[in-house]
Amino acid sequence: MFRKAKSVVGLDLGHQVVKAVEISMEGPEPVITGFARAEVSAGADRAEAITKVFQEGKFRSKSVVTAVSGQAVVVRYITMMQMNDAELRQAIRFESDKYLPFESDEVQIDCQRLTRKPHAPTEGAAAQEQMSVVIAACKKSAIEERIKEIAKNGLTPLAVDVDVFALANAWELCGLAEVAGEGGQERAIALVDVGASVTSINVLCGGETCFSREIGIGGQDMSQAVARRLGLENTEAEALKRDPQGREAEISRAIAPVLEDLVSELTLSLDYVENREGLRVEEILLSGGGVLAPGTVSFLEQATGRTTRTWNPLEGLRVAESRVNVQAMEACASSLAVAIGLASRACAQ
């Protein structure tokens, strides 16, 4: 499904907002040449929002990369005996039932060897005899649904990615410094994207994924908590969460129980990967619309005991100001990480 294209639109099909960012290659440099976002009307499908995005985005291209997430997607990090890439793909085809909760004919499967060696080789095997592998599988029905959703708008689907990997691609595209080891101990960062209904986690060590997970908690849960506590309709609570109008303290108290649940799941995930991989997750980098709620960043930092901050996926990227509303894009920059990661496929064409 890949074809050469100098411009690619990364289309993030959120439950509340559809976001699109176009990246074009101008010589060796990636440039943002288009941007648009549209709210998804309550009770409506995303078709209207997708149409609006492409009417307003002034995109050069109709070549689109989108992503899947949720229960239809499974990502596993496993240890296997050393083999070449062709042998790996053949082995995964026949042994996928060991690692995946789906029948092999129901899913599209891909895999990739990782450069990081297994921290704890299986009994009786030396580390040099084994390799770390990431497997990603998605139900074919979910992929087909995404492709139809794009194609019926007259767009050309180039690829279907996974949200958690798009996060890492955006991080890499920005050229932000990798966290180096200190004192001989490996360190890692956690990219945490708080979306409307799902929070995606991707832990990177040396710039390479070593753990990923989705948590079913997001911005919608915060909005519902605000609505219950302050006696508002959900739409009013969502608007107030985005623009507190001096009510930051009330909103922070309202969303605290949601953040406690999120921290509990996040801490379990980070503890697991630290024990499994023998490393320390030093820093949490936040993105997504959910992190804009008052007090969210400080709450997560205090509760996890790790340095926590938001990061800007636009950092280091040139923007074609004649084609893009820079002010509007920067106002929602934290929520564009997935879309930018998807559009980064332009760099690989």
CATH class entry, domain 178-310: alpha beta
CATH class entry, domain 73-139: alpha beta
pLDDT band per the 50, 70, 90 thresholds, residue 45 = confident
| Beta pairing partners, 37 | 19
pLDDT value of position 180 = 40
The yes-or-no verdict on residue 157 having pLDDT over 90 is yes
Domain ranges within the chain, ordered by starting residue: 73-139, 178-310
The 10s digit of each residue's pLDDT in 239-291 is 999 899 899 999 999 999 999 999 999 999 999 999 998 899 989 999 999 99
The yes-or-no verdict on residue 215 having pLDDT over 60 is yes
pLDDT value of position 255 = 96
Average pLDDT over residues 179-194: 70
pLDDT value of position 93 = 84
Joined tokens for residue 150: 């794009």
pLDDT band per the 50, 70, 90 thresholds, residue 174 = confident
The 10s digit of each residue's pLDDT in 17-42 is 999 999 999 888 999 999 999 999 87
**Among the residues of the chain, which ranges form H helices?**
47-56, 85-95, 140-151, 163-174, 219-230, 234-242, 248-277, 296-304, 326-331, 337-343
- What is the SS3 assignment for 81? strand
pLDDT value of position 183 = 46
Task: Give the Cα separation of 193 and 207 in Å (integer).
Answer: 17
The 10s digit of each residue's pLDDT in 91-140 is 998 888 888 888 888 999 999 999 988 876 555 556 578 999 999 999 99
Task: Give the Cα separation of 238 and 172 in Å (integer).
Answer: 31
Task: Give the Cα separation of 270 and 267 in Å (integer).
Answer: 5
The 10s digit of each residue's pLDDT in 57-80 is 989 999 999 999 999 999 999 999
